[in-house]
Structure 1
Amino acid sequence: MTYRRAAIPALIGGLLLTALLWWAGSSADALQLPGSGGTLGTGAVAELQRWLTPWAYDPPVFLDSGAQASGYVPDTSGGDHRDHYGGLYTTGLQIRYGAVLVAFVLGALLLVRRLPPVRGRTTAAFLALWAWGAVAGTLALAVSAPWMIASMGHGSYRLLPQLANVIAGGRQLPVAVSLVAAGATVLVARITAGGAGPLPRTDVPVRAARLAATAGTAVIALSVVVLSYQRVAAALQEFSPDGGLLSEPGDLLRQWLLLGAWDGPAGGPLGDWLLYRASDVLLLAVVWWALSRLPGLLTRVTLPAMAVGAVCVTVLGLLAAQLLRIAVVQAGPQQDLLYSTAGIGNGIPAALTCGLVAGAVATTVLRLSLRGAPDPAA
């Protein structure tokens, strides 16, 4: 599929994703209405606020120059510059929405072109676009974070921990609304692909595909098994250069490198420990299975397509592991659905980092294993 044909569904999906995030963020004020707690429950209202507030377009109440509320740090000279900080907040939100649109369109453009939803690839394309929508939300949060931090009036204080905190907020909403955006993108892509001619799959030997998948999964396992081990994670947390804006990078390093967290049974029930570890096994199994099939689904195996595909695969494995953990470990009669899903979307920054590396490694191994063999069909 040409870029011209792929651009239409990618743009429509990006606009829909942005519009849904804006609509959901604009609905955050409704949770403040009298009776919302009685109707939905105080716990559900609090959880929904955590979902929606990072995408709410209205500035926080403490940035209202006429309000007396906590959260605003006044200027050292005693002046009240909340109008200025409110402008920074609005600019940050504009950058956030613009970034989510650009990030989704660029990724969807590549995915729709190399993984068109035809010839048995519809489900794979839908899942990849869903995962990429969640990644686009994370990228938007990261890009807009400096403006959001500056709008609080204390941007130079513990900058890196603040960056990690801003990026961690609002991760659940893109995961949810990306389902709709992915479905719309696939639907439009199937229409635009109608006259695109044959879109063949790449002919990749099974052994080469499995070898590449094993190499890529090893990168993910490095994060899940080694870096996520409690002692290693603690060492990352404690690492800090001396002073300056780059001090205390531990939270940010863990956010972008760790796909989980684990330790030994430590005297607890072995069965519970194994249940928690089952989610890690599921993550690695999903990554290996999907990576082994990915080269054969692409119209052409390229480094960008494999890298973005590996990111989507890692996000899907992460979400599958989190859903398993919710269903088997966290679910219970005392926990409502929203509370149980509070951890959805955790680890997406690390999935982006590790997925890009895994995709590059898998592509390299695949090309080396195919060296001397007939070129696969483009």
Structure 2
Amino acid sequence: MTYRRAVLPALAGGLLLTALLWWAGASAHALHLPGATGMLGGQAAAELEHWLTPWSYDPPASAQFSTEVSGGIGGAAGTAGTNYLALYATALQIRFGAVFVFFVTGALLLVRRLPPVHGRMPAALLALWAWGVVAGALAVTVSAPWLIASGGRGSYRFLPQLASVISSGRQVLVVTALVAAALTVFIARVTAKGAGPLPQEAVPARAARLAATAATAVIALSLVVLSYQPVAAVLQSVSPGIGLFAEPGDLLRQWLLLGAWAGPGGAPLGAWLLYRAGDVLLLAVVWWVLRRLPGLLTRVTAPAMAAGAVCATVLGLLASQLLRVAVDGAGSGLRWDLLRLSAGIGDGVPAALVWGLVAGCAAALMLRAAVGRAEITDATTPVEDSARLG
């Protein structure tokens, strides 16, 4: 699919995702009303407010507090408070603008290389859903410095504050990104009509398996090795004394660890294995998606493989988190406490972005090498056969 046909669905999906996040943020203040608290319950209302606040223009308590205690007497204090509120509004403007830009950029690539036609529609929908979650996480990251500065504590433990801000607002992204992906796929399917048969590269099965295995090994490095608690503790304890950039442990965990695990300890072995099934599911999803991805792309390129690997990692992460929600819910018997059980949905997206990019590059290199070897073998086989006959 050409960029001219892909730009309309990408723009429509980006606008819808931005509008849904803005609407969700604008609804956060309604959770303070007595009717909402009475209908949802105090705990559920507080949990929903925690999910929606990162997308709300209403400043949280921290920003209001800095407004009240900001230095100055009389009018000077009011001016400083107004500046903090303006800085908070700027952070939200950057956040919503970045969501739109990041989603459109990734959707253009995905819709062009993975158009939702000829059996590719489910794959395109899942890829765009995952990319919407990534776009939201990137937008939160980009706007985080302005948000931290609006609280008046930008110079105090900056990196831990940055890690805390980056980890917020994921749950609502999972839902809104799915809706935006559905609209993008629908419009892309309409615009693709009349474009003629789309190309599809023939990739040897062995090359695709090798590429998927190499990429899965990269993901396993984070999920199995770095996420092991003794190793993660070493990352957490990294703390060079360099002023503003001291205490990077929390931030390193955000961008390097896809999970956290330890030995069975005092837990029953069966329960421990059941909980580790989420990690196995993540790796299985990544391998299966990347095994099929080269055959679905209209052209196998390094950017397309990298974007596909990021989406595959996010999808595997979401699948493992949903499995753990089911396991925790069945084990605790809390059938209706879905909000509390779903609090971890969307965690680990920054690490999925980092390791997905590395895994995608590794898969592209392995795929190119394997296909090259297969072509050389095919080219030399007739010569060897004729030599034997002679």
**Which TM-score applies when normalising by structure 1?**
0.95
Q: How does 1:79-94 map to 2 (within 5 A)?
A: 80=77, 81-94=80-93
User: Deviations 1:99-130 (Å, cap 9, x if unpaired)?
Assistant: 00000000000000000000100000000000
1:111 equivalent to 2:91? Answer: no
Distance 2:250 2:329 in 1: 24
* SS of aligned partner of 2:317: helix
Please tell me whether the aligned partners of residues 217 and 287 of structure 1 are also in contact (alpha carbons under 8 angstroms).
yes
* SS of aligned partner of 1:268: coil
Distance 1:323 1:236 in 2: 27
Deviation of residue 201 (structure 1)?
2.0
What is the aligned partner in structure 2 of residue 268 from structure 1?
267
User: Deviations 1:50-90 (Å, cap 9, x if unpaired)?
Assistant: 110000022235645xxxxx465834566521110100000
Distance 2:204 2:271 in 1: 40
* SS of aligned partner of 1:24: helix
Please tell me whether the aligned partners of residues 13 and 185 of structure 1 are also in contact (alpha carbons under 8 angstroms).
yes
Please tell me whether the aligned partners of residues 66 and 81 of structure 2 are also in contact (alpha carbons under 8 angstroms).
no
Distance 1:32 1:329 in 2: 29
Please tell me whether the aligned partners of residues 100 and 136 of structure 1 are also in contact (alpha carbons under 8 angstroms).
yes
Deviation of residue 35 (structure 1)?
2.6
* SS of aligned partner of 1:370: helix
Please tell me whether the aligned partners of residues 55 and 169 of structure 2 are also in contact (alpha carbons under 8 angstroms).
yes
What is the aligned partner in structure 2 of residue 295 from structure 1?
294
* SS of aligned partner of 2:346: coil
Please tell me whether the aligned partners of residues 67 and 84 of structure 2 are also in contact (alpha carbons under 8 angstroms).
no
Distance 1:50 1:176 in 2: 15
Q: How does 1:1-378 map to 2 (within 5 A)?
A: 1-60=1-60, 63=63, 70=65, 74-75=69-70, 80=77, 81-331=80-330, 332-334=332-334, 336-374=337-375
Please tell me whether the aligned partners of residues 212 and 288 of structure 2 are also in contact (alpha carbons under 8 angstroms).
yes
* SS of aligned partner of 1:342: coil
What is the aligned partner in structure 1 of residue 379 from structure 2?
none
* SS of aligned partner of 1:143: helix
* Structure with larger Rg: 2
Query: What one-letter code is carried by the residue in structure 1 that aligns with 2:205?
Result: V
Distance 2:187 2:32 in 1: 37
Distance 1:210 1:73 in 2: 60
Q: For the structure 1 residues 282 and 61, does the alpha-carbon distance in structure 2 shift closer, same or farther, using more than 3 Å as the test?
A: closer
Q: For the structure 1 residues 146 and 122, does the alpha-carbon distance in structure 2 shift closer, same or farther, using more than 3 Å as the test?
A: same
* SS of aligned partner of 2:137: helix
Deviation of residue 155 (structure 1)?
0.4
Query: What one-letter code is carried by the residue in structure 2 that aligns with 1:293?
Result: R
Question: Which of 355-364 and 199-208 deviates more?
Answer: 199-208
What is the aligned partner in structure 1 of residue 381 from structure 2?
none
Please tell me whether the aligned partners of residues 145 and 163 of structure 1 are also in contact (alpha carbons under 8 angstroms).
yes
Please tell me whether the aligned partners of residues 111 and 128 of structure 1 are also in contact (alpha carbons under 8 angstroms).
yes
Deviation of residue 19 (structure 1)?
0.3
Distance 1:165 1:73 in 2: 23
Deviation of residue 267 (structure 1)?
2.5
User: Deviations 1:152-185 (Å, cap 9, x if unpaired)?
Assistant: 0010111110110001010111111111100000
Distance 1:257 1:61 in 2: 30
User: Deviations 1:261-313 (Å, cap 9, x if unpaired)?
Assistant: 00001132111111111000000000001110011100000010000000000
Deviation of residue 131 (structure 1)?
0.4
Distance 1:12 1:89 in 2: 27
Distance 1:102 1:88 in 2: 21
Query: What one-letter code is carried by the residue in structure 1 that aligns with 2:338?
Result: L
Distance 1:356 1:59 in 2: 34
Query: What one-letter code is carried by the residue in structure 2 that aligns with 1:195?
Result: G
Please tell me whether the aligned partners of residues 63 and 83 of structure 1 are also in contact (alpha carbons under 8 angstroms).
no
Q: RMSD over aligned Cα, in angstroms?
A: 1.5
**Aligned pairs, number:** 370
**Which TM-score applies when normalising by structure 2?**
0.92
Structure 2 unaligned runs (5+)? 377-390
What is the aligned partner in structure 1 of residue 380 from structure 2?
none
Query: What one-letter code is carried by the residue in structure 1 that aligns with 2:279?
Result: D
Distance 2:145 2:372 in 1: 46
Question: Which of 179-188 and 193-202 deviates more?
Answer: 193-202
Structure 1 unaligned runs (5+)? 65-69
Distance 1:209 1:356 in 2: 17
Query: What one-letter code is carried by the residue in structure 2 that aligns with 1:341?
Result: S
Question: Which of 42-51 and 215-224 deviates more?
Answer: 42-51
Distance 1:374 1:89 in 2: 57
Query: What one-letter code is carried by the residue in structure 1 that aligns with 2:100?
Result: L
Percent identical: 68
Question: Which of 171-180 and 142-151 deviates more?
Answer: 171-180
Q: For the structure 1 residues 62 and 261, does the alpha-carbon distance in structure 2 shift closer, same or farther, using more than 3 Å as the test?
A: closer
Please tell me whether the aligned partners of residues 224 and 259 of structure 1 are also in contact (alpha carbons under 8 angstroms).
yes
